[in-house]
Amino acid sequence: MQAGFQQQQPLSEKEWQLLPVLMAGRLMQSTLIGTYTISREPSNAAYVMPDERERWRCLNLLLGCPPHEMAAKLRAAAEASMQQAAGSAAAGDGDDTQSDDVMVQQQQGPLVPTKMRRSLPFKLPPFKLELYLARYEHLPLQLSRSSCQPVGLQALLAMADGDLQQQWQQLTLGYPPNVGSLRLRQEVALLYPGTRPDHVLCCVPNEGIFVAMAALLSPGDVVVAMHPAYQSLLEVARSMGATVKLWSMEFEKATGQPFFSLAALRKLMTADVKCLLINLPHNPSGWLPSRQQWGDIVDCARQVNAWLFSDELYRLLEQQPEQQRLQPAVCAYPARGISLGGLSKAFGLQGLRSGWLVCQDTAFLQQAECVKSYITTTGPIMSELLAVVALRNQQQLVGRCVGVIRDNLAAAAHFFDRWPRVFQWTPPTAGSLCLPRLVTGEPIDAFCARAAAGCGVVLLPGTVYDHAAAAAGQHFRLGLGRTNFEEALHALEQWLQSQQ
């Protein structure tokens, strides 16, 4: 829309989507700096400071005016929308789109009610992976678990120093701060050189994906994402109205080794890309780029000024950390890097539901905190204290998990060596997962169902990822982090022998 915007001109659907101050939903409000949105729905009001890129995109593309004229433009837009809505109602026009009655107010201006569409439906598809695992969670031999062997509560408490022991004994069950306790954020920041506690937002790890995508994305944005991936990384972005371009995993023809082509990524990273979503070490393949390749990936985001959201939950699970461990995204790309971390994979503390987002962009963190206020608001105070204990004992806890994975890698190598006519396998570079392949010609879904029924061993078929190569290649996910791994392999081997 040009600078000559007229008060009586109604806004189109596209213009509503481009005008953040007039977008509202049950989850969050996305407004311009200095503007409040007040909804008549209970608990549905917020103040948000978006980043400068979004602010100026709105100003330049839609309003075409300098900041000091913003209030008049907003009032004109609201009045035009009211007249359009009133005209539609008088004419009996039906509209089955959900809408809210909202009031828009500048700090010195009057309340202006307006009717507007919900621009974000937040409709999410069934979570295939979680539904599949839930179907078989009653079986004892889970060979596809992504997390490492859980730590006992008493074992964790025994690692606490005297001060933390006393705090645990005297703990009262109140609310911690929304962003997480200061002592927890201090410990997290130590994992990311150059960051401070105020760069950390504590959250449940999967919640962190939702919070970040809601804070970053708007309808029409373009995202590039590694594929396959944990379903949240793809579907939450799509639910925000973003277009998701897939950076798809490939397999070496001779060895079956999974890899991601940097040439393919460069073609995907066009100037309109808002965010690059990555997951390293990769779930479910265990792929990890070299440090040179990692630098090239970061450069792909930097060159188009895109955000780099990195799910790093499997970080620290490298078998050769001195040669393999990568710099976190928030450190490699301080301007727009976002690292998602947590204790569920590398620490064996999935029951704490403790994780974090780390970013050096203040505006992003403010938006993310606002979104979190509509979900969990705060974390459990017991988990936050236990997370401090864990982070202060990182070497012992992570070393335990790496040791379990190392032992299971050796057992897996012997197992697959004995069954070359049934499986093809290449060990993962890092993490607790890999993607073996069934080579008998039987559909992988049928094989996994037969294994569960025949010997109680649960294998996750690659078809849950909707990845063509993984599905066509009859791949399945294998988890290497549990102490009953050899027991489960033995049960699977006995069943395979009975099928011959």
261 lies in the same domain as 313: yes
Q: Is residue 3 part of a domain?
A: no
Range of the domain at 282: 172-393
CATH number at residue 372: 3.40.640.10
Which of 363, 393, 423 is at the close of a domain? 393
CB under 8 Å, gap of 24 or more: what pairs does 82-85 form? 82/112, 82/113, 82/114, 82/115, 83/8, 83/10, 84/10, 84/11, 85/114, 85/115
- pLDDT tens-digit profile, the chain (500 residues): 333 333 334 444 444 444 443 333 323 333 333 333 333 333 333 333 344 444 444 444 444 444 445 445 554 554 554 454 445 444 444 443 333 333 333 334 443 333 333 344 467 888 999 999 999 999 999 999 999 999 999 999 999 999 999 999 999 999 999 999 999 999 999 999 999 999 999 999 999 999 999 999 999 999 999 999 999 999 999 999 999 999 999 999 888 899 999 999 999 999 999 999 999 999 999 999 999 999 999 999 999 999 999 999 999 999 888 889 999 999 999 999 999 999 999 999 999 999 999 999 999 999 999 999 999 999 999 999 999 999 999 999 999 999 999 999 999 999 999 999 999 999 999 999 999 999 999 999 999 999 999 999 999 999 999 888 777 779 999 999 999 999 999 999 999 999 98
Tell whether 274 and 375 lie within a shared domain: yes
Of the CA atoms within 13 Å of residue 288, those in its CB half-sphere come to 29
For the chain, how many helices (H) and strands (E)? 19, 20
Cα–Cα dist 128/107, whole Å:
46
Whether 212 and 336 map to the same domain: the answer is yes
Shared domain for 265 and 363, answered yes or no, is: yes
**Residue 310: inside a domain:** yes
Whether residue 152 lies inside any domain: the answer is no
Confirm whether 45 is domain-assigned: yes
Domain-located, residue 472: yes
Q: Are 24 and 118 in contact (CB under 8 A)?
A: yes
Residues 311 and 242 occupy one common structural domain: yes
Domain boundary among 365, 393, 421: 393
Do 369 and 447 belong together in one domain? no
Same domain, 202 and 343: yes
Answer yes or no: is 348 within a domain: yes
pTM of the model: 0.77
User: What b/e sequence results for 227-265 when a residue is b if at least 16 CB atoms lie within 10 Å of its CB, and e otherwise?
Assistant: bbbbbbbbbbbbbbbbebbbbbbebeeeebbbebebeeb
Q: Is the domain of 437 the same as that of 304?
A: no
Looking at this protein, which amino acid is placed at residue 20? P
Q: How far out from the chain centre does Cα 282 lie? A: 13
Whether residue 215 sits in one domain with residue 293 = yes
For residue 123, is it within any domain? Answer: no
268 in the same domain as 139: no
Closest CA to 81 of 23, 3, 4, 12: 12
Within a 13 Å sphere around the CA of 198, how many CA atoms are in the beta-carbon half?
4
> Do 254 and 376 fall into the same domain?
yes
d(CA 21, CA 31): 4
Shared-domain flag, residues 377 and 428: no
Residue 165 lies in a domain: no
The pair of three-digit structure tokens given for residue 410, joined into one six-digit string:
């050796």
End position of a domain, from candidates 371, 393, 415 = 393
Number of domains in the chain: 3
